[in-house]
Amino acid sequence: MFGECHGHMFMNGVNYKKAVAYHKNGVDKDLVRNCLRAYQEAGITFFREGGDYLGVSSFAAEIAGDYGIDYRSPVFAIHKKGHYGGIVGLSYENLAEFVALVEDAAKKGADFIKIMFSGILDFDEYGSITGTSLALSEMKELVHICHEEGFAVMVHVNGREAVHEAIVSGVDSIEHGFYMTEEELFLLAETGTIWTPTVSPVGNLAGRGLFQEEAVEAITKSQLENVKKAFALGVHVALGSDAGAVTVPHVGGLYDEYSWLLQASDKDRKRLDMVLGKTEQMLKEKFRRR
């Protein structure tokens, strides 16, 4: 079985606020152990974290080896104050504060750095992204700082322009990346940047009545079309479900994501497995501090 290339150990796949409440007085260690055990029993031996501000991912990384799991974590995600990202990390106002956060992550054992470059999808309106993205100049500076410290950079980013600029800035992986055009897909192929499309957080919303069904369907369809084009272009597509997000349960979410990618692929399972396996190995090599 493949690894989970994008997940959040502190989330529960059902309700964000309730998930946070479990750890508000300190990490619920039994809950983390149970989750790692579930991955172990499913034969999933790799997990790349999306981070949190509660210390959950740090504890999970500390004990994951006991369950035979290679666990990579940024400790927490980093976002610019006033921008999206508080649900998974810490904020900065200036470059000095950003550098301090990178140094703090390093001291706490981060394997890589995760930065939030844009907002999230508006699930009720196709094409809409919440908030504003960072300027290209700032993206480049943040990525440069991380690379100088020996860290690979994972970025949360959505929207054609923001994704384009994120790739140009030299990031190592694009997470989510909704609403790309062929230009961005060609750029991904050209640069060798890894893309984790996380179809499940949108695709799994269908039929639940939580958002406008037409919008959910359109967003999912466009992402699947881009995944299909990405495979054809030789883009390094990673299997990551955003495990823990609403409608994306731990373990089960990874199987869901595989099904979505299989649906978007013109390859049989054997060839798809080869493609995903190659990307996962590349990701493992990149996402550890040098």
Give the confidence band of 1 by pLDDT, cuts at 50, 70, 90.
low
- With 90 as the cut, is the pLDDT of residue 91 above it? yes
Tokens standing for residue 8: 């959040």
* Collapsed DSSP state (helix, strand, coil) of residue 131: coil
Q: Name the H helices within 135-181.
A: 136-148, 160-168
C-alpha span between 286 and 153 (Å, rounded)? 9
Tokens standing for residue 288: 């550890």
C-alpha span between 104 and 110 (Å, rounded)? 9
What is the model's pLDDT at position 266?
Answer: 79
Give the confidence band of 2 by pLDDT, cuts at 50, 70, 90.
confident
- Tell me if 211 sits within 8 A of 191, measured CB to CB: no
* Chain segment 139-192, per-residue pLDDT in tens: 999 999 999 999 999 999 999 999 999 999 999 999 999 999 999 999 999 999
What is the model's pLDDT at position 47?
Answer: 98
Complete edge-to-edge strand list for the sheet that includes strand 153-157: 89-92, 77-80, 113-116, 153-157, 173-176, 194-196, 236-237
- Tell me if 123 sits within 8 A of 216, measured CB to CB: yes
Q: Mean pLDDT in the chain?
A: 97
- Tell me if 172 sits within 8 A of 194, measured CB to CB: yes
What is the model's pLDDT at position 268?
Answer: 84
Q: Quick one: which H or E segment has residue 236?
A: strand 236-237
* Chain segment 265-275, per-residue pLDDT in tens: 977 899 999 99
